[in-house]
Structure formats: C-alpha cells, structure tokens
Amino acid sequence: MRTIEFETIVPVAIDEVWAMFKKVEEYPQIIEYCHKAKLVGGFKEGSNWYDWSTVLIVPLKVNHQIEKILPNAEIIYSIPLPFGVFLKQESKLEGKSSRETNVKMVVTIAFESKLLDSILGNFVEYRNKRMISKTIENFHNRFKNANN
C-alpha cells in the first residue's frame, strides 16, 4: 500500500472551499486529468460521481463512491481502478481564520497483488502526485482570481 499526503492553506473561508467540493460538475476546471464529471444521486454519503480521466494515460470512466461527508470538514471517496488498483481519497478542511482554510489530502493506493504493485505502483503513485500537485495549484489560482 502506498500513501500520498498533501497539505496547503488556501486564502478563502472554509464555506467557499466546501462549496467548491460540492460542485462536482466543475471538477474538470480544477482537477488535473479530469475531463468530464457527473454526480449521480446528489452530493451525499453513498452516492457516486464519475469522471472521464486520463490519470492512467488512456481515457477511462472512473467511478467515485462518496463514503463519508462531514460538511465543511471532511469527505472520503473510494475509487476502484482497472488493473487491480484501488484508491481512497480523503480531504479534510480546517478553518484557520475567516479568510484562510487548511486543506489536507491523503490518497491511499492499494493493489490486489505485490506483483501489480511492483509493475504499476511507481507509475500510479507518480500520476496521482502530479494530479494532486496541479489540482492544488489550480485551487490556489481559482481563489486568487476570485479575490481580485
């Protein structure tokens, strides 16, 4: 199992950050490799959203199950991928002030076998790190532009 962690402070109130998390159809504007996103069943625990993603290079329809939602605090997605890869994405928010929010993201990558991990692990980890780094950059740019 592999774990990727990122943490950043964005220059907006926690309510604005949470509102962005809830706008799944706008994810392609922010999330690297996400080309189209659709929420099915509403933004609630047990619902799903999917995106057309190129995180594994080739375009794939990727399903995300919403496991947990704590408004303005936490969201957890489970994401099965082809080739025996399973991801869990956890995002936690903490208001630092009325104008700053701490965002912590943890991605856990699990493979069905050690052989798959040895073949695909570095690639999947690299692509997810790049996706999250670019997404955080886009996140900052979106809020910076909104504040100007």
Which run of H or E residues covers position 7? strand 2-10
Q: Is the pLDDT of residue 83 over 90?
A: no
Q: Is the pLDDT of residue 39 over 80?
A: yes
pTM of whole model > 0.85?
yes
At residue 74, the pLDDT reads: 97
How high is the mean pLDDT of the chain? 92
H-helix segments, 1-148? 14-22, 114-147
**% of the chain at pLDDT higher than 70:** 97
- Give residue-wise pLDDT tens across range 5-37: 999 999 999 999 999 999 999 999 999 999 999
CB atoms within 10 A of CB 20: 18
